[in-house]
Structure 1
Amino acid sequence: MTSTIDIRVLTTIEEMNEMQQLENAIWSGEGGIPVHQTITAVRNGGLAIGAYDQGQLVGFSYGFPGFKDGKVYLCSHNMGIHPEYRDAGIGASLKNKQKEEAAKLGYDMLTWTYDPLETRNGYLNLSKLRAICSIYVENSYGIFEEGINKGLPTDRFKVEWWIHSRHVAERKPVSFKEGAERIPWKHGQTGPVLVGDLSVPEADEILVPVPKAFQSIKLEDMELAMDWRMKTRELFTKLFGQGYTAVSLVRSEEGPVHHYLLVKRSELDL
């Protein structure tokens, strides 16, 4: 499927309309970004990338300029792929094109947010693209009444993608050593459960479990989903506060959890 996909920069009002329509289709009930905003952004340092299959927009990424603490960066606000085209490598293609075009515009860092309990996104952002995260945002967008985020605080990882760094240039997912410290979990009646007092160990590498199928847990046991949200919030906030950074999502073939790998930020070549 990906051999037929055309990845290109979006610049026209017509293309912004296509992007808004796809956004509405993917996140039904949450509302798309107004075209007057997206077209203004791409005319002033922003960047929209589209993925087309035979002239039909099936994926996009959209970002606008950000500025904080004297630093200019590209805030990659949104990326969406039509459900029929997921797991086909389009997300990585969109981000790599975004990196290429952002470099042309003079950016050296891109940032965006995602739900750390959505492991598909975690694997793309950290393991494949080699972005990093040491910022946890509690309830970033409030609690939605509809859509896939209904009913839970919208906690997010805010990642940094240092596109000219050696860390990103290495490309391969960051691996962990056998002696890495593991946060414990156990099997519950409706899914995996974090256990223990959530104390944070001191180690060179720490593995934090997260559910493989968080959306399924939300459908079957909302109380367990909330338990994962609040406990991982506590864990990641503590770990980031102690200088750790999430650098990879380690997928497991067996069992109901994957793991985030965290290392000391000071050890990274950024």
Structure 2
Amino acid sequence: MTAGVTIRTVHDVASLAAVADYFSDVWRTSRSAPPYPAEVLHSLVHAGGAVHAAHDGRRLVGASVAVLGPERSTYSLVAAAERGLGHAVKLAQRDWALALGARSMRWTFDPLVGRNARFNLVKLGAVGTEYLVDFYGPMTDGVNDGDESDRLTVTWRLGAPPAPSGPEGHGPVARLAPDGGPLVRRDLADRYLWCRVPDDIVELRAADPEQALRWRHAVREVFLTACADGFRATGMSRDGWYTLTRAEKAA
């Protein structure tokens, strides 16, 4: 999937402006009001961060932004790519971070977007470590408008084997979802619980924003309670079920 694609850090004004335009297209905003303006990207690079750009020939097909954090950590502000290229973009970020001696990378994502959860938790082997309520406040881009901006923080241990995801389980139903189906299942030993998310929250948000908000609040309550009880998000099934594992059982 990455044949012919090159990924490199970019520093010049023109390349950073192209990345800003790319992010505008991904988040469906006007290019005159990008979510990450070129001048901000330039400042982040000047401060020691990295902007990666993926090109297929001359066409920009992915980009990411990361900054340094404390104690040999890094933080990925944003990453986006055409289908099949996301893994390569994240590996480029990882290589940059490892070269600086970093041991971990963190970022946030919308916990209702199941495909992103599966990529982060299963493909990369990161772990969901913190649930953030309405993290950004109101957002007006073409993807998130009309919803509350809850986010799940994930931590990726660089250079370490992926964390075990835990079983994809179907224990007793503990709570129902806004659509009437099961929302939460819990195993009898109380080591794992499973939480379902909608098939496509972006499509649901556009078609029925009130129902999408009900899902937001339902999943929020599950995660906040689970995190307080020592669970971390360790997996995501193909049919939209998170696996949450008690922290003492997760590697």
Instruction: Provide TM-score, normalisation by structure 2.
Output: 0.88
Q: Secondary structure at the match of 2:125?
A: coil
Q: Secondary structure at the match of 1:166?
A: coil
Q: Is it true that 1:266 corresponds to 2:251 in the alignment?
A: no
Q: Is it true that 1:11 corresponds to 2:19 in the alignment?
A: no
CA contact (8 A) 1:183 1:209 kept: no
Cα distance in structure 2, aligned partners of 1:200 and 1:239: 13
Q: Is it true that 1:158 corresponds to 2:137 in the alignment?
A: no
Compared CA separation, residues 10 and 183, structure 1 to 2 (3 A): farther
Aligned to 1:255: none
Aligned to 2:51: 48
Compared CA separation, residues 166 and 199, structure 1 to 2 (3 A): closer
List alignment gaps of at least 5 residues for structure 1: 253-257
Aligned to 2:79: 79
Cα distance in structure 1, aligned partners of 2:168 and 2:235: 13
Aligned to 2:26: 26
Q: Which amino acid aligns with 1:240?
A: C
Q: Give the deviation of 1:183 after TM superposition.
A: 4.6
**Identity level (%):** 25
Cα distance in structure 2, aligned partners of 1:14 and 1:220: 38
Q: Give the deviation of 1:6 after TM superposition.
A: 1.4
Q: Is it true that 1:112 corresponds to 2:107 in the alignment?
A: yes
Q: Which amino acid aligns with 2:62?
A: G
Cα distance in structure 1, aligned partners of 2:173 and 2:9: 42
CA contact (8 A) 1:127 1:248 kept: yes
Q: Is it true that 1:245 corresponds to 2:236 in the alignment?
A: no
Q: Deviations over 1:103-138 (max 9, x none)?
A: 001111111110000111111111100111120111
Compared CA separation, residues 103 and 195, structure 1 to 2 (3 A): closer
Task: Spell out structure 1 runs of 4+ moving beyond 3 A.
Answer: 177-188, 192-196, 198-202
Cα distance in structure 2, aligned partners of 1:201 and 1:221: 35
Q: Deviations over 1:193-225 (max 9, x none)?
A: 5568x9998611111111111122222222211
Q: Secondary structure at the match of 2:61?
A: strand
- 1:159-178 alignment, distance < 5 Å: 159-167=154-162, 174-176=165-167, 178=169
- 1:218-229 alignment, distance < 5 Å: 218-229=205-216
Compared CA separation, residues 15 and 2, structure 1 to 2 (3 A): same
Instruction: Provide TM-score, normalisation by structure 1.
Output: 0.82
CA contact (8 A) 1:182 1:208 kept: no
Q: Give the deviation of 1:14 after TM superposition.
A: 2.3
Q: Is it true that 1:211 corresponds to 2:202 in the alignment?
A: no
